[in-house]
Amino acid sequence: MNYVHYEKKIVKSLGVALTNWPVHGPVRNPGELTRDDATVLRNALASRECKWIKLTSQQVEIRKASNKQRSANGEKVYGPPRKQRARSRKGGPGPSSSDGVGMEDVTMDEDAPELSAV
């Protein structure tokens, strides 16, 4: 579950929210909690005091507006920006050597002996 980007990836995208979070601070990964806080969370979930609810479209819009205002006030509502992944070049040339010469740049020497597969 994406707890770092909880408001964006869970609340905003899926329209669900965790209510009555029993631990001080924002909703976060249970693996980041202390043992005592994890016990408090487990007990709250078991007793259904803390639970997931489906938000109405109106509730989601209210939450978005609230988050936008909080973000404008300098609060980090949506967590840190995500790291950019390296993009693959599908259909492009294969791996190239460190000198920047790709396989398409290699020419065969006509005088070189052919290599045979073993």
Number of separate domains in the chain: 1
Please state, rounded to an integer, the average pLDDT across all residues of the chain: 78
Task: Assess if residue 37 is contained within a domain.
Answer: yes
pLDDT digits (tens, 9 = 90+) for 76-86: 776 666 677 77
Q: Is residue 111 part of a domain?
A: no
Read off the pLDDT of residues 21-39 as tens digits, 9 standing for 90 and up.
999 988 888 899 999 999 9
pLDDT at 55 over 60: yes
The answer to whether position 108 is within a domain reads: no
The continuous run of DSSP H or E covering 39 comes out as helix 35-46
Q: Is the pLDDT of residue 2 over 60?
A: yes
- CB burial string 36-53: b at 16+ within 10 A, e below: ebeebbeebbeeeebeee
Q: Which domain holds residue 39?
A: 6-72
Looking at the chain, the whole-number percentage of residues with pLDDT higher than 90 is 36
pLDDT at 112: 53
**Domain for residue 64, yes or no?**
yes
Q: Is residue 85 part of a domain?
A: no
pLDDT band at 59 (very low <50, low <70, confident <90, very high): very high
Residue 81 lies in a domain: no
Start-to-end C-alpha separation, the chain: 49
112 found inside a domain: no
Contact 44, 30 (CB under 8 A): no
Domain contains 96: no
Residue in 55, 53, 50 with CA at minimum distance from that of residue 12 = 55
